[in-house]
Structure 1
Amino acid sequence: MPGGAVDMEAVGGYEDILRNGDAWLRDSASEGRDGLGWINLPARDIAGVEETAKWISGFDAMVQVGIGGSALGNLMLHGALLPPYWNELPRSKRQGPRFYMSDNVDPADNRMIWNLIDPEQTVFTVISKSGSTAETMANFLFFWDRLKVDLGPKKAAEHVVVITDEEKGVLRPFADEIGCRRLVLPADVGGRFSVLSPVGLLSGAALGISARKLLEGAAEMDRRLAERNTVFENPAWLLAALSVAHYRQGRNMTVLMPYEDALERFCEWFAQLWGESLGKNGTGSTPVRALGAIDQHSQIQLYTEGPDDKLFTVMTVAEPAEEITIPETEEKALVSLSYLFGQSMNSLRRYEALSTAAAIAKSGKPVVSIEIPKLDERRLGAMIQFYEHVTALAGYLLDVNPFDQPGVEQGKNYTYGLMGRPNYSAQALEVTELAEKLSLREISV
């Protein structure tokens, strides 16, 4: 849809760079270069994941301990492909256990999770490549301690699955020590690109999502992208080019606004993927999460009449899984609502998405429309592979490494120092000095 003029010749001018970038990504992936392994995930063997998932599916509950890429991808898969209010469904209507995510370091959340589960009927999955992520390990140590108290160390180990690096970190030797199940997080796959690895596939498969169909959709998308070598034929090249072109015109925010509740978590997954991959060296556009039609009533005023600093993507699903026809009613006070009678809720939502895109375009702002034919495993797998490819290519155009996170590491190092981790005392001193400077500007209430 038109709106927010950008020089399409400039977009086309990125073609040679994108072609080189795409070739570099694929060559680097085949060489096993760090961070590029996500391209190969659709072809990896998942027999171990499926076997472990089948075992987990017999339990009443599953608690996953992880943060960032070890959490957001799981929640995205579940939100998109499982019925709403999954944990409230009776066991007869669920194909797998209730699911709880322990991500943030929040005592209230962790205690409530523990109070809601029966440890004898629960599996705990801990995910960390290094085993040094403070939040993840703090949460896991809480649950591991409770498990040992209630079940004893030997039986507790039978309720734990570790997903970690094959060689590095503390979780691999921990798994060997206690004798629990272990799956490998590929060394060449970064956390935010890991949803199609055991990190995301295990919980999804345990809850009845087809891991193989997710990977089939991702593989199909990858093949299509590999076959198209012009910027206006290859959708990943085009969206990467549009994103960077608009960024260079001062639109330093990208808004993703699906009109499907099931895709709300997709926005959260995308926000980490985009923000953590591209926000480096003073560059990068800020991801903004929105949900239609809810945010028509909270953000559209800003989007249409606010500053021209955003690129918008409105996302819809052509064939939603459920439908409701809005019923008629005879009360005279409601006669003004007769235009709704007999209409479908999905039609209303579809018209709202179209109207939002049109209103944004009319205001002169740039908007992209994406329609997913149907929200199932195959299409979602394709969308995951697509957005990962777009993100990697945008990083190539911006001349940043989309596969590291130096800003995140600095914050981690400060935390290690403050918590007294050995060899991080200098980091503790530095953050204390910075905090003292900040305190000079505090305002008392």
Structure 2
Amino acid sequence: MRDTLLKIGLGGAIGVGSKAMRVEEEELEFLELPLRNAEAQLRTGAETGLDGTGWIRLPYEDLESVRSVAEKIAAFDSVVQIGIGGSALGNLMLHNAFLHPYHNELTRKEREAPRFYMADNPDPQGLAGIWDCIDPARTAFIVASKSGSTAETMAIFLWFFEELRKVMGEEKAFGHFVFITDPDEGLLRVLASKGALGTLPVPKDVGGRFSVLSPVGLLSSMALGVPVEGILEGARHLDSLLKEARGIWENPAFILAALHTLHSQKGRPMAVLMPYADGLERFAEWHAQLWAESLGKEGKGSTPVRALGAIDQHSQVQLYAEGPDDKLFTCLNVEKRGPHWLIPPSPIRELAPANYLGNHSFDELLGCEARSTAAALKKAGKPVIWIEIPRIDGPCIGALVFLYEWVTALTGLLMGINPFDQPGVEQGKRYTYGLMGRAGYEPDAAEVLREFGGLLAKTLMV
């Protein structure tokens, strides 16, 4: 394991801005004891099975059962994962980091893995598009739902299963499905006995948004050739660093949680994460769910904002530089991106003004833009955290993922809320169950009709 997986620059987020909004070193140090108590609470919870804390154990779990099912799936031409939220975003984040950006367009020999499709949103146009692209007889389906009652996931599963049943019969159809669900109970657990291709557990004390290092995120990744062992190695390395840290200035999870907490308290309730690599675009999307669903409750929270460098320099950075001082920025850079392509100088006389780019690499250009954006924001008095990884590989991504899981959980505890529940999401689920006619949810149906009716009390028809 290399010694350095992450470089974190903190100077742009400390002592920046007006006096009333400035975060000082002594304020960060004051939070060290509460952070130590929060870490101890989380680690004790993971040892005792406290709800929500099981993600801390995931880097140390045995992968043999996942590997066994992944080998079966890898033999198919296509893999469709059916899931939503945490049962989709973690997979997409890992695939985005490690697979060819046009993976499905490569030949099987070039891919060395099946094609992959994510069926997460119950939009019939998208589902029909997947169906048009696959051969049902050569496709494996992964159904990921801890409860087995997620409306979107179950609706999509029912549709795909029925189409397969029509083509090949019920018994053979079950042989194309893998179920990732509660280890003991639930609707999908019951189906495991019907000849499924495989069944894997979601640990009871792991919530969906923290499940990327469980079978939910690792099964499809392993089947497609993502370096899962390296990812877990990086997570373990980060965990060891956190355990050995002797103070807040040696503990990246502590210092980042403290910075986010204090900046939010001082009037910056938005957290902008801006990676400068196409392979990390989905990391920002995964982080948005992790951050928003964990921290947004009881009238508190920090709103995650996704951006991608350099694209969003041409759409969002104007607001960031000269708009309201209500955001904490994190620029996420990659030291070495590949391949190493040079920009050629042009022999055409009319293009001579652009030749300052000549003989520089695309990697160099993107890195210069990342540093320039961070520097410009700092000059404008906006707080900026700089995080850099040497390259996109298993250990670096594993460390980055595990770091942000820790930062999120610690920030929630510093805020005085439970980072592992989602009561606001559950309300919407109950309303949907009621409107779709699920027994026992009739009062919810009446309530949502009443509340929604208020939206239409004044209506403009165009």
Structure 1 length-normalised TM: 0.99
Q: Report the Cα offset of residue 180 of structure 1.
A: 4.0
For the residues of structure 2 that align with 1:320 and 1:341, how far apart are their CA atoms? Answer: 18
Q: Which residue of structure 1 lines up, in the alignment, with residue 443 of structure 2?
A: 426
Match of 1:31 among 19, 42, 48: 48
Contact 1:29–1:40 (8 Å) recurs in 2: yes
Question: For residues 359 and 388 of structure 1, do their structure 2 counterparts lie closer, same or farther at Cα, with a shift above 3 Å needed?
Answer: same
> Percentage identity across aligned positions?
55
- 1:253 corresponds to 2:270: yes
Q: Report the Cα offset of residue 178 of structure 1.
A: 4.5
- 1:157 corresponds to 2:156: no
Q: Which residue of structure 1 lines up, in the alignment, with residue 306 of structure 2?
A: 289
For the residues of structure 1 that align with 2:363 and 2:442, how far apart are their CA atoms? Answer: 57
What amino acid maps onto 2:134 in structure 1? I
Q: Which residue of structure 1 lines up, in the alignment, with residue 385 of structure 2?
A: 368
For the residues of structure 1 that align with 2:278 and 2:222, how far apart are their CA atoms? Answer: 21
Task: Count matched residues.
Answer: 445
Contact 2:335–2:389 (8 Å) recurs in 1: yes
Q: Which residue of structure 2 lines up, in the alignment, with residue 398 of structure 1?
A: 415
Structure 2 length-normalised TM: 0.95
Q: Report the Cα offset of residue 104 of structure 1.
A: 0.5
- 1:224 corresponds to 2:241: yes
For the residues of structure 2 that align with 1:435 and 1:53, how far apart are their CA atoms? Answer: 44
Match of 2:458, SS state, is coil
Q: Report the Cα offset of residue 442 of structure 1.
A: 2.4
Aligned pairs for 1:84-163 within 5 A: 84-163=101-180
Q: Which residue of structure 2 lines up, in the alignment, with residue 43 of structure 1?
A: 60
For the residues of structure 1 that align with 2:61 and 2:105, how far apart are their CA atoms? Answer: 34
Q: Which residue of structure 1 lines up, in the alignment, with residue 80 of structure 2?
A: 63
Q: Report the Cα offset of residue 177 of structure 1.
A: 3.3
Contact 2:345–2:355 (8 Å) recurs in 1: yes
Q: Report the Cα offset of residue 443 of structure 1.
A: 2.0
Q: Which residue of structure 1 lines up, in the alignment, with residue 341 of structure 2?
A: 324
Contact 1:19–1:229 (8 Å) recurs in 2: no
Question: For residues 229 and 396 of structure 1, do their structure 2 counterparts lie closer, same or farther at Cα, with a shift above 3 Å needed?
Answer: farther
Deviation per CA, 1:210-229: give whole Å up to 9, x if none. Answer: 22221111111111111114
Q: Report the Cα offset of residue 11 of structure 1.
A: 1.3
Q: Which residue of structure 1 lines up, in the alignment, with residue 29 of structure 2?
A: 12
Match of 2:213, SS state, is coil
For the residues of structure 2 that align with 1:178 and 1:131, how far apart are their CA atoms? Answer: 18
For the residues of structure 1 that align with 2:193 and 2:298, how far apart are their CA atoms? Answer: 41
Q: Report the Cα offset of residue 112 of structure 1.
A: 1.2
For the residues of structure 1 that align with 2:459 and 2:299, how far apart are their CA atoms? Answer: 27
What amino acid maps onto 1:115 in structure 2? D
What amino acid maps onto 2:422 in structure 1? Q
Match of 2:248, SS state, is coil
- 1:416 corresponds to 2:433: yes
Match of 2:396, SS state, is helix
Deviation per CA, 1:368-395: give whole Å up to 9, x if none. Answer: 0000012111111111110000000000
For the residues of structure 1 that align with 2:104 and 2:179, how far apart are their CA atoms? Answer: 23
For the residues of structure 1 that align with 2:72 and 2:342, how far apart are their CA atoms? Answer: 41
Match of 2:250, SS state, is coil
- 1:189 corresponds to 2:206: yes
What amino acid maps onto 1:378 in structure 2? P
Contact 1:57–1:95 (8 Å) recurs in 2: no
Contact 2:174–2:194 (8 Å) recurs in 1: no
Deviation per CA, 1:11-41: give whole Å up to 9, x if none. Answer: 1110100010011110110011111000000
For the residues of structure 2 that align with 1:86 and 1:273, how far apart are their CA atoms? Answer: 26
Deviation per CA, 1:326-353: give whole Å up to 9, x if none. Answer: 0121111111001011111111111100
Q: Which residue of structure 1 lines up, in the alignment, with residue 317 of structure 2?
A: 300
Q: Which runs of 5+ in 2 are unaligned?
A: 1-10
For the residues of structure 1 that align with 2:131 and 2:285, how far apart are their CA atoms? Answer: 26
Q: Report the Cα offset of residue 179 of structure 1.
A: 4.1
Question: For residues 179 and 259 of structure 1, do their structure 2 counterparts lie closer, same or farther at Cα, with a shift above 3 Å needed?
Answer: closer
Q: Which residue of structure 2 lines up, in the alignment, with residue 201 of structure 1?
A: 218
Q: Which residue of structure 1 lines up, in the alignment, with residue 397 of structure 2?
A: 380
